[in-house]
Amino acid sequence: MAVEGAPAGLLDDWRVDGSGDKKRIGVLLVHGFTGSPASMRPWGEYLHQRGYTVTVPLLPGHGTTPHDLNRVKWQEWPAKVETELKLLQQKCDKVFICGLSMGGGTTLNIATKYSKNLAGIILVNPMIHVKFVPHQLAWFISRFQKMRESVGDDIKRPGITEWGYDALPAVGVYELLKMLHYTRARLHDVTAPLQLFHSVDDHTLPVSNTEIIMKGVGSRDKQRIELLNSYHVATLDYDQEIIFENSRIFIEAHS
């Protein structure tokens, strides 16, 4: 797993206008920590082929070197998503945000402020905490160890990569946990319709993340779908068609 050798343009911001009667429905897809837009691109292409306007941004600190992720403040991630949201709102009547892992936590952060402006949110193995690791402990660890072992490419399908980092930046983890701590305390402010996909066999995040989110959000309309044949990066795994098709049905139902 590394960003070197990724196909040209795959790690860049990707924005495409839709067509037909779905052109004014926008979908914003947010990748995970140490990952890249590559993990969301097939999903985005699936939706675009069905007429939707789609944006897959590259989050700050990603797509370059792991050291850059140690230089980012957590507020930069939701700020990037917020910028892309506003661009979509200029051309779309309804907007959905989809997030994978940390991208799910970032989506929830945005939804605490913009639920009334969102038609819905879709989460895949979303992240809201790391068990027994508060952000204060992560800060202490980051003083002594700047890089840790990578947690990326947790994919059951052989030969598939999300083109992310081959190391885990410790200062970046500290910033990530601060964002999740802030967001978790405000989950009740998330009121947009919610669809959540959870891999039963996830080696990266425990099921407690899904349970905290499902219990904590203020959304009355919330749906959980189990994935039985995928690991953490389920958007690139065997169950991706389940995610793609059910998300399409969710989007159609709420637009």
What is the secondary structure of 88-99 as a DSSP string? HHTT-SEEEEEE
* Distance between CA atoms of residues 127 and 103, nearest Å: 8
Q: For the chain, what is the total number of helices (H) and then of strands (E)?
A: 8, 9
170-184 and 102-114 helices, crossing angle to 10°: 40
Instruction: Please give the pLDDT value at position 238.
Output: 98
Kindly indicate the confidence band of residue 5, based on its pLDDT and cuts at 50, 70 and 90.
confident
Centre a 10 Å sphere on the Cβ of residue 38 and count the other Cβ atoms it contains: 25
Mean pLDDT for 208-218 is 98
Catalytic residue among 115, 232, 239, 255: 232
* Distance between CA atoms of residues 50 and 111, nearest Å: 25
Any catalytic annotation for residue 202?
yes
Amino acid at residue number 134: P
In percent, the amount of the chain with pLDDT more than 90 equals 83
Tell me: pLDDT of 84 over 60: yes
Tell me: pLDDT of 139 over 70: no
Catalytic residue among 36, 39, 48, 101: 101
SS3 content of the chain, % helix, strand, coil (to 5): 40, 15, 45
Instruction: Please give the pLDDT value at position 250.
Output: 98
Instruction: Please give the pLDDT value at position 218.
Output: 98
Kindly indicate the confidence band of residue 45, based on its pLDDT and cuts at 50, 70 and 90.
very high
Instruction: Please give the pLDDT value at position 168.
Output: 82
Q: Would you say 240 and 197 are in contact if contact means Cβ atoms under 8 Å apart?
A: no
Strands (E) located in the chain? 14-16, 25-30, 53-56, 94-100, 120-124, 147-149, 167-169, 194-199, 222-227
The residue with greater pLDDT, 138 or 121, is 121
In percent, the amount of the chain with pLDDT more than 70 equals 91
* Distance between CA atoms of residues 184 and 121, nearest Å: 16
Tell me: pLDDT of 138 over 60: no
Any catalytic annotation for residue 115?
no
Fold that domain 14-253 belongs to in CATH: Rossmann fold (3.40.50)
Which of the residue ranges 15-29, 75-89, 149-163, 190-204 would you say has the lowest mean pLDDT?
149-163
The residue with greater pLDDT, 122 or 170, is 122
Residue 109 neighbours by CB under 8 Å, 6+ apart: 77, 78, 179, 182, 183
Average pLDDT value for the chain: 92
Q: Would you say 25 and 53 are in contact if contact means Cβ atoms under 8 Å apart?
A: yes
Mean pLDDT for 232-248 is 98
Kindly indicate the confidence band of residue 148, based on its pLDDT and cuts at 50, 70 and 90.
low
Three-state secondary structure call for residue 55: strand
Q: Which of 230, 3, 250, 34 is nearest to 125 (CA)?
A: 230
Q: Would you say 107 and 97 are in contact if contact means Cβ atoms under 8 Å apart?
A: yes
The tokens describing 209, both together, are: 């993340």
Any catalytic annotation for residue 221?
no
Instruction: Please give the pLDDT value at position 128.
Output: 96
Instruction: Please give the pLDDT value at position 143.
Output: 58
Tell me: pLDDT of 136 over 70: no
Tell me: pLDDT of 62 over 70: yes
Catalytic residue among 202, 237, 239, 255: 202
Residue 132 neighbours by CB under 8 Å, 6+ apart: none
Kindly indicate the confidence band of residue 20, based on its pLDDT and cuts at 50, 70 and 90.
very high
- Dihedral-angle region of residue 47 (phi above 0 means left; psi in -120 to 50 means alpha; beta otherwise): alpha
Three-state secondary structure call for residue 139: helix
* Distance between CA atoms of residues 59 and 81, nearest Å: 8
Which of the residue ranges 6-15, 167-176, 244-253 would you say has the lowest mean pLDDT?
167-176
